[in-house]
Amino acid sequence: MTSLIIELLISFSQSVKDQGVEIVFVSSDGSPEDMISYMKESHGDWWALKHGSDETHALKSKYGIKGIPSAVVVRTRDGATVTKEGRSDIRGKGPDAAKEWLKEA
């Protein structure tokens, strides 16, 4: 993930924390050690799934994640996809993206 996207995600997550939006990091790093190293130097204050876990593979498969960075927005109550264009939304709309997502959530 580029540093610009990370900076945007960190700023975004801080801006929308009170709106009920959570970010869950699903790693595509080459190893658990790479993931931990990345998280220590660049990671925001958000949840992360264990590297290479069944849940990680299931989410990547379910949402068709092929490359990085990706941001998929899902409803917490049923896991339905709100958008697979979360990264573009964050980049283009900033915190206002969350307002649009919450209307659909």
Identify whether 69 is preceded by a cis peptide bond (ω within 30 of 0): yes
Q: Is the pLDDT of residue 53 over 60?
A: yes
Residue 98 · residue 16 · CB < 8 Å: yes
Cα 41–chain centre separation: 17
Confidence of residue 41 (pLDDT cuts 50, 70, 90): confident
Domain ranges of the chain: 3-104
Q: Is 3-104 assigned to CATH 3.30.565.10?
A: no
The alpha carbon dihedral of 96, 18, 2, 83 has a sign of negative
Q: Is the pLDDT of residue 20 over 80?
A: no
- Return the pLDDT at 1: 45
Tokens representing 96?
């206002």
